[in-house]
Amino acid sequence: MEVNNTMQIQSTRFGKIDIADDAVIEFTDGIIGLPGTRYALVAQQEGSSFYWLHSIDDPSVALPVTQPWLFFPSYDVAVPDDDSAKLGLDTPEQADVFCVVRAAQELEDFTVNLRGPIVVHAARRLGRQVINEAGDYDVRQPLFAHVELSQAAPANSSTPIAATGV
């Protein structure tokens, strides 16, 4: 019988959150500019277009992220060979890609970092922020320049979501 252990964190944003051990993503080199190496994806509602990449090590750190193809259907990602090796990626299908969203008061001011996506090997529960070698993408690309929020399909990821309804 397989036992799935959970831990509880006291998020400054969401209160108490139960995180299953198999939902923890290890960022061995951390995330640029942020503390800690262990994170989990949290969704405010099931089928959301946005997640929070929430730190397990520092409950005050949570980054809004999205899958870029929901808003940029022709987005292309080229993960450097060194980063692919560190994640243990053998094929593109093993990678889930998320981009950090910079929220603002007005939707038209939301931006997304297409230049430095977060790549996750869901089966190995390893993550890494990489420099995208494909295209000339911006670190502050307007998020709603091509797609309205109501047109974005719900995200579909093989990376486990630690909690919903937070």
Please report whether residue 21 resides in a domain: yes
Residue 78 belongs to a domain: yes
Task: Tell me whether residue 59 is in a domain.
Answer: yes
1 belongs to a structural domain: no
Question: Is 151 within the bounds of a domain?
Answer: yes
pLDDT digits (tens, 9 = 90+) for 102-116: 998 888 899 999 999
Beta strands in 94-136 (DSSP E): 95-102, 111-112, 118-121, 126-129
**143: domain range?**
6-164
3-state secondary structure of 22: helix
Q: Is residue 120 part of a domain?
A: yes
Residues 18-68: pLDDT tens digits?
Answer: 999 999 999 999 998 999 999 999 988 888 889 999 999 999 999 999 999
pTM for the model stands at: 0.85
Structural domain contains residue 41? yes
pLDDT at 148: 55
Pairing of strands 15-20, 6-11: antiparallel
Residue 146 belongs to a domain? yes
Per the DSSP assignment, residues forming a β-bridge with 161 are 41
Indicate which CATH number applies to the domain containing 131. Answer: 2.30.290.10
Q: How do residues 68-83 score in pLDDT, each as one tens digit?
A: 999 999 999 999 999 9
Total domains in the chain come to 1
